[in-house]
Chains A and B, each alone.
Chain A
Amino acid sequence: MSTTLERNAPISPPPPEQNEHPQRKWYEYFGFSTDHKVIGIQYLVTAFFFYFIGGALAEVMRTELSTPDPDFVQPEFYNQLLTMHGTIMLFLWIIPAGAAFANYLIPLMIGAEDMAFPRLNGVAFWMIPPGGILLMSSFFNGAPQAGWTSYPPLSLVSGKSGEEIWILSILILGTSSMLGAFNFVTTILLMRMPDMDIHSMPLFCWSMLATSGLIIIGTPVLGAALILLSFDLIAGTAFFNPAGGGDPIVYQHMFWFYSHPAVYIMILPFFGAISEILPVHARKPIFGYRAIAYSSLAISFLGLIVWAHHMFSSGTPGWLRMFFMATTMIIAVPTGIKVFSWCATIWGGKLSLNSAFIFAVGFLSSFLIGGLSGVMLASVPFDIHVHDTYFIVAHFHYVLFGGSVFGLFAAVYHWFPKMTGRMVNETLGQIHFVMTFIGFNITFLPMHQLGLQGMNRRIALYDPQFQFLNMVCTVGSYILALSTFPFIINIIWSLYKGEKAGRNPWRALTLEWQTASPPIIENFEEEPVLWAGPYDYGIDTESIDGDEDVEDMLAAVTSESQ
């Protein structure tokens, strides 16, 4: 483990020919690497691997739910699928995918050579495959079936080995996420290039500061809860087991103390990505830089004091329900600021409707629905009705899928040229978007109504009156499944056959676009120069010739400003 900060050494090799940059060999991506770019891609590919597994499990669940009877899979197995789907999607897909972009982008965006602790970074990544494989292995002797929340006493009585494996793997994955977070904070705070003050840092870095803070504060509490749960499970203690005088509600508080912030851990990185993507493709500065940056911090702080809104109908006394209602309502304000600022960023711009941009707009329009239903859920009297129903399932998929996953695809399309040096195929990207957007809404929109009407969640068998809408959801989920094919084909095709990207195909201003695509091993050939703010679009409205070199542009800008 490296404990010294490796400062950006001012080595400037003579500018080599375009194609002779030293590049990583393919096998380095399969081994222990300390290069943040390799690690970022390792995270991303691993996350996608688990996404396909988690998605396949969801398709089995949706197939089961196309009829009211538990005929396709046994209810017990359904609960295993449910638990594994939730756990995989959160801990092996969205959280690692956020870390992927953080790893890849932070050092490039702040003009550093690597992360503050490169070896620790490698270790953090290499905890994920064992954690994931461990979790998967539980399928062989009874996967956990108490839901991703794993509330005792149910989690103590439904399959010991699966539950213990679940706990261990979450502990491993949680530790990995903490190590990553330490690295992000240190890197962002200490390794920015000399002229970049904190207010000229790209917004993605702000959002990763907020995310990392939450990870560092929340994860230990989850760890503690799971270790105690594990004692109850194996050693027969009774911290949470009412059969021995324990209190299951304390587990819920500890669990949600992490897991509410965790939903922001899962969305904030993509808020950051959206703030990067919109200005580039709208050719306009981000609207309200400081407002967006500070609302990330506000969300992060408020996110720590809203956890019991998941427990409004649990063992929570009335006055506490009112307190958490108030804090939850307030969190809508910074979130609203962001959404409005993003809309204002697009307004009056010159929009290129490419895959990255339309996924970003898809993000805005779906996340909006998740946010509006979120404010409704903050209202205790209403939440009491819909808690633990399909309304909630709809709400959190609008946030996690409509928000995080759409944001993630936008980010993949936006930074693919940087990561690989090749452009993606736009037609396939747009087909991917249309199918995803339609499939997503058909799958999850009707679930709001199901929940309001009386369909509870986490069930393998349901009342026949709900069959029609469930059928609709299932059809939607098949469209979603199909939508991944254009994506996969696109990625593989573009990797080999895509048009060469050049350093800055989007004519973007953040620093990662000032180096080669893919970037050279230590990121920049020479000290990068901060010649414009990250979002200074339109300041120099003259048309910029695509072939012009960054150096020429630089010279032009410096001479103009003198």
Chain B
Amino acid sequence: MTLISLWYGQNHGLLPMAASNDAGEVDELFNFMMTIATGLFLLVEGVLVYSLFKFRRQKGDTTDGPPIEGNVPLEIVWTAIPTVIVFILSIYSFEIYNRMGGLDPMAAGDPGPQMMAHSHHHSELVALDTSQQNIALGLGISPESQQGINPLEIKVNGIQYAWVFTYPESGVISGEIHVPVNRPVALNMTAGDVIHAFWLPEFRIKQDVIPGRETNLVFTANQVGQYPVICAELCGAYHGGMKTQLYVQTEEEYAQWIQDNTFAMKESGESVAMNPVSNSDTEFLEPYAQDMGVDADTLAQLKP
């Protein structure tokens, strides 16, 4: 039974690929829990199934079973074992969470709830005053990589039903997110209408994106590739269609992408219809409407 649990804990094949070191650690935690859970599952189900066969009442037997009302040592054991298990799990989870940067006090400057500008200009929301340092909401920089590396900052804005990414360094605004591999990326996120949640399944990280507040996620991708970005908080009818892609690229490819987009934006002034500052939600969404299954009515409702 122990062997089965150990084997299954490692070989359940239930998780998608892991594209960051943190994700690997979360997976180890999950495997550990899966091992214990499998063991307990087999134990209890085994007892039940065995009892159903072994202790079935014989026909015509109307006597009772043995009058056992309890067994103190046994009860102490099965109180102590779960206690120890959850204690270990708590410490282990705490460790991992801390390593992921969850307890980084400087992670964010969440200034508490703020008056949300009553407009559709998302840029104003992103530009909240973040100078007050406050407790982090989300994941910060992991304590090990704190010194030296300066993370790439990207502002994320969630609106029904799209993500908008702004690169403050270059001014690039995009509906997809591109990041260089092996460099910490710090997302400063807020929402323009209702609550959304930014989820990267391959990175095992998620954080709600809240209107009038800033939340954070820091991650370091270690595998070049293309990964889904999914909204994981009910945000309206097309919540299921609110997704985009994360491209993890090599330094060079990433630099190239930034350059192309900066260039494109300068040239056309209006950019590739990617600049929500000068567009209303409706205009911004139109190009995506097809993919998302948003119909004309929904778009019409969005028109101010």
Smallest CB separation, B303 vs chain A (Å) = 15
Contact A541 B63 (CB under 8 A): yes
Contact B212 A380 (CB under 8 A): no
Tell me the B213-255 residues at the A interface (CB within 8 Å).
213, 215, 228, 230-241, 243
Choose, from B97-105, B148-156, B171-179, B260-268, the stretch at the interface: B97-105
Q: Which single member of B29, B63, B135 contacts A379 (CB below 8 Å)?
A: B29
Q: Which single member of A154, A242, A385 contacts B205 (CB below 8 Å)?
A: A385
User: B201 within 8 Å of A by Cβ?
Assistant: yes
> Contacts of B51 on A, CB cut-off 8 Å?
343, 346-347, 349, 351
Contact A282 B69 (CB under 8 A): no
User: A79 within 8 Å of B by Cβ?
Assistant: yes
Contact B239 A459 (CB under 8 A): yes
User: A382 within 8 Å of B by Cβ?
Assistant: yes
User: B289 within 8 Å of A by Cβ?
Assistant: no
User: A168 within 8 Å of B by Cβ?
Assistant: no
User: B82 within 8 Å of A by Cβ?
Assistant: yes
Tell me the A371-395 residues at the B interface (CB within 8 Å).
372-373, 375-376, 378-382, 384-385, 387-389
User: B67 within 8 Å of A by Cβ?
Assistant: yes
Choose, from A131-139, A245-253, A263-271, the stretch at the interface: A245-253
> Contacts of B228 on A, CB cut-off 8 Å?
454, 463
Contact A379 B33 (CB under 8 A): yes
User: B52 within 8 Å of A by Cβ?
Assistant: yes
Q: Mark A441-470, 1 if CB is under 8 A from B, else 0.
A: 000000011001110111111110000000
Q: Which single member of B26, B68, B210, B212 contacts A284 (CB below 8 Å)?
A: B68
Contact B64 A350 (CB under 8 A): yes
Tell me the A486-539 residues at the B interface (CB within 8 Å).
507, 535-539
Q: Which single member of B16, B61, B96, B206 contacts A350 (CB below 8 Å)?
A: B61
CA distance A109 to B241 in the complex (A): 53
Choose, from B36-44, B162-170, B180-188, B280-288, the stretch at the interface: B36-44
CA distance A246 to B93 in the complex (A): 33
Q: Mark A278-308, 1 if CB is under 8 A from B, else 0.
A: 0000111111111100000000000000000
Contact A153 B239 (CB under 8 A): no
Contact B55 A452 (CB under 8 A): no
> Given that A329-B90, A382-B30, A454-B16 are known contacts, is A283 also in contact with B100, CB under 8 Å in the complex?
no
> Contacts of B92 on A, CB cut-off 8 Å?
379
> Contacts of A542 on B, CB cut-off 8 Å?
63
Contact A318 B78 (CB under 8 A): no
Contact B26 A462 (CB under 8 A): no
User: A339 within 8 Å of B by Cβ?
Assistant: yes
> Contacts of B212 on A, CB cut-off 8 Å?
242-243, 245, 247-248
Most buried by B among A69, A459, A540, A543: A459
CA distance A380 to B97 in the complex (A): 7
Contact A153 B194 (CB under 8 A): yes
Choose, from A91-99, A181-189, A229-237, A319-327, the stretch at the interface: A319-327
User: B65 within 8 Å of A by Cβ?
Assistant: yes
> Contacts of A379 on B, CB cut-off 8 Å?
29, 33, 89-90, 92-93
> Contacts of B210 on A, CB cut-off 8 Å?
242, 248-249, 314-315
CA distance A375 to B87 in the complex (A): 11
CA distance A21 to B293 in the complex (A): 65
> Contacts of A453 on B, CB cut-off 8 Å?
14-16, 201
Choose, from A209-217, A218-226, A361-369, A426-434, the stretch at the interface: A361-369
Contact A456 B30 (CB under 8 A): no
Nearest 5 interchain pairs by C-beta? A459-B240, A242-B212, A538-B64, A538-B67, A454-B201
Given contacts A353-B56, A546-B62, 6 further A-B pairs with CB under 8 A are A69-B293, A154-B194, A248-B195, A314-B195, A384-B205, A385-B206
Spell out A's residues near B (CB within 8 Å): 69-70, 74-76, 78-79, 145-147, 151, 153-154, 157-158, 242-249, 282-291, 313-319, 321-322, 325-326, 329-330, 332-333, 336-337, 339-341, 343-344, 346-353, 361, 364-365, 368-369, 372-373, 375-376, 378-382, 384-385, 387-389, 448-449, 452-454, 456-463, 507, 535-544, 546
Between A and B, 27 residue pairs with Cβ closer than 8 Å are: A147-B234, A151-B234, A154-B194, A247-B113, A282-B55, A285-B68, A291-B70, A315-B208, A318-B97, A319-B135, A336-B79, A349-B55, A351-B52, A365-B44, A372-B37, A376-B37, A381-B29, A381-B93, A381-B204, A384-B204, A385-B26, A388-B197, A388-B199, A388-B232, A460-B240, A461-B240, A543-B63
